[in-house]
Copies of this chain bind each other. A is one copy, B any other.
Amino acid sequence: MTDLNAYMTGVGEAARGAATLMAAAPTAAKNAALLALARRLRETGPALAAANERDLAAAVGAGLEAPMVDRLRLTPKVLATVAEGCEQIAAMPDPIGEITGVKRRPTGISVGQMRVPLGVFGMIYESRPNVTIEAASLAIKSGNACILRGGSEALHSNLALAALVADSLEEAGLPREAVQLINTTDRAAVGLLIAMPAFVDVIIPRGGKGLIERISREARVPVIKHLDGNCHSYVDAEVDLDLAVTVVDNAKTQKYSPCNATESLLVHAKQAADFLPRIGMVFAAKGVEMRGCERALALLEAVPRDLLKPATPEDWDTEYLAPIISIKIVDSLDEAIAHINRHGSHHTDAILTTNHVSAMRFLREVDSASVMVNASTRFADGFEYGLGAEIGISTDKFHARGPVGLEGLTSMKWVVLGQGEIRS
């Protein structure tokens, strides 16, 4: 334990030192490191494969389920995708150093804001080793240092990837310690990482709700996180029904596991008799279980019995991440907004409407990180929003909200430019 303390303090100090250098690093050097990393990811097949095989063999030996083992696998396709991601981030504008809003004040000073890195971020994630490269590439471009703690089942793969990152940094004249991977599976390392405010400026957890709740509770530094994605699609009193069926179908069924999939459907009473039987048959054909309020169930009579259930109060608060959807009929836009603000998780919610006033009220009054009009909730994603890459999605209102890309890893400081002004 004393050794672990010393190890983590060493990692923290090295990260803080590297962060100072990264903050001042030229854009060209950061891009060179990213391009070198992309090249190494494509070239360094055998060494990576050997490390990955060790993790895969251990996972199979430990009896991990096949989908979990698959997530560990660094196939040439996975490596090509993360290499391409590095090249895309290299091609993006450097967010650091941008000075905005400089205004001359009556006293003579000019005041503006400069975008700077946050410093050091700690990232705690599970399973998929490609997250190691995603986090590293965002850290490099945003001028931060990072400390990565991946899943223990991916340790050898992550160490091999982190070595490629360090070599690429060095090749570009940047500090190897800008991206460090914690080289132990000791779980106490997480507890130390989240409680080093002197060395770590923010923690970004990616994983199950249990992990994120524990980190939020125990962290002594800010955490960028989202817990639930209990997302809603609301079909308004005035709506294009064909469009609504297409979008709601996509929002629920295009994929069941992402956090931005719709989990709850609200339908205005005026449209329920027309809309619900249609979407009900679409869901039924895909085997989606419908948990409805009493009025909704009455309109879903054509749906096979085994896919229909009365909704319990808990259903309104549940993120299923599965082929299940809760359905409620509401009598007004006000009721829909109040329901979403009370039961939703402030992640992503959409209205389907042709009424401008409804659309604007929904955008303003629904208190969520992403609010949408006539689009699938599945669009809530850093790539889809044009951020180039995403380190996570935040349901906090502070700092980064919604998909977090390069800018979410920066901070704005005030700059004052004077010619000897003094305050009177």
Q: Which residues of A contact B (CB under 8 A)?
A: 20, 23-24, 97, 103, 105, 107, 109, 111, 114, 116, 118-119, 201-202, 222, 240, 243, 246-247, 249-251, 254, 341, 350, 361, 363-365, 367-376, 378-380, 384-386, 396-399, 401-403, 411-424
Are A423 and B378 also in contact (CB < 8 A) when A367-B119, A398-B202, A416-B372 are?
yes
**18 pairs from A and B in contact (CB 8 Å cutoff):** A105-B384, A119-B367, A240-B420, A246-B420, A254-B422, A254-B423, A254-B424, A363-B415, A370-B413, A370-B415, A372-B415, A373-B417, A375-B416, A375-B422, A379-B416, A380-B416, A401-B414, A402-B413
| Residues in chain B near residue A374, CB distance under 8 A | 417-421
Q: Is the CB of B243 within 8 A of A375?
A: no
Q: Is the CB of A97 within 8 A of B364?
A: yes
CA–CA, A315 and B41, complex, Å? 50
- Copies of this chain in its oligomeric complex: 2
Q: Is the CB of B364 within 8 A of A24?
A: yes
Q: Is the CB of A398 within 8 A of B401?
A: no
Q: Is the CB of A414 within 8 A of B369?
A: yes
Contact of A420 among B109, B222, B247, B369 (CB under 8 A): B247
Q: Is the CB of A109 within 8 A of B414?
A: no
User: With A254-B422, A379-B416, A397-B411 given, can you name 11 additional A-B contacts, CB distance below 8 Å?
Assistant: A105-B384, A111-B386, A114-B371, A202-B398, A243-B420, A363-B415, A369-B414, A371-B414, A371-B415, A375-B416, A398-B398
Q: What is the minimal beta-carbon distance from A300 to any residue of chain B, in angstroms?
A: 23
CA–CA, A416 and B246, complex, Å? 17
CA–CA, A399 and B401, complex, Å? 10
CA–CA, A368 and B201, complex, Å? 13
Are A421 and B379 also in contact (CB < 8 A) when A23-B364, A415-B372, A416-B371 are?
yes
Q: What is the minimal beta-carbon distance from A278 to any residue of chain B, in angstroms?
A: 15
Q: What is the minimal beta-carbon distance from A408 to any residue of chain B, in angstroms?
A: 10
| Residues in chain B near residue A401, CB distance under 8 A | 411-414
Q: Which residue of B lies closest to A398 (CB)?
A: B399
| Residues in chain B near residue A419, CB distance under 8 A | 243, 374
Interface centre among A249, A361, A365, A423 (most CB of B within 10 A): A423
Q: Which residue of B lies closest to A375 (CB)?
A: B418
| Residues in chain B near residue A423, CB distance under 8 A | 250, 254, 376, 378-379, 384
Are A364 and B416 also in contact (CB < 8 A) when A421-B375, A421-B376 are?
no
Contact of A414 among B24, B240, B398, B403 (CB under 8 A): B403
Are A23 and B365 also in contact (CB < 8 A) when A247-B422, A384-B423 are?
yes
Q: What is the minimal beta-carbon distance from A424 to any residue of chain B, in angstroms?
A: 8
| Residues in chain B near residue A118, CB distance under 8 A | 397
Q: Is the CB of A402 within 8 A of B373?
A: no
| Residues in chain B near residue A399, CB distance under 8 A | 398-399
CA–CA, A35 and B33, complex, Å? 57
CA–CA, A246 and B367, complex, Å? 50
CA–CA, A24 and B399, complex, Å? 22
Contact of A402 among B350, B361, B364, B414 (CB under 8 A): B414
Q: What is the minimal beta-carbon distance from A87 to any residue of chain B, in angstroms?
A: 18
CA–CA, A386 and B254, complex, Å? 48
| Residues in chain B near residue A251, CB distance under 8 A | 422
Q: Which residue of B lies closest to A374 (CB)?
A: B418
Contact of A111 among B107, B254, B385 (CB under 8 A): B385
Q: Is the CB of A341 within 8 A of B20?
A: yes
| Residues in chain B near residue A247, CB distance under 8 A | 418, 420-422
Q: Is the CB of B418 within 8 A of A370?
A: no
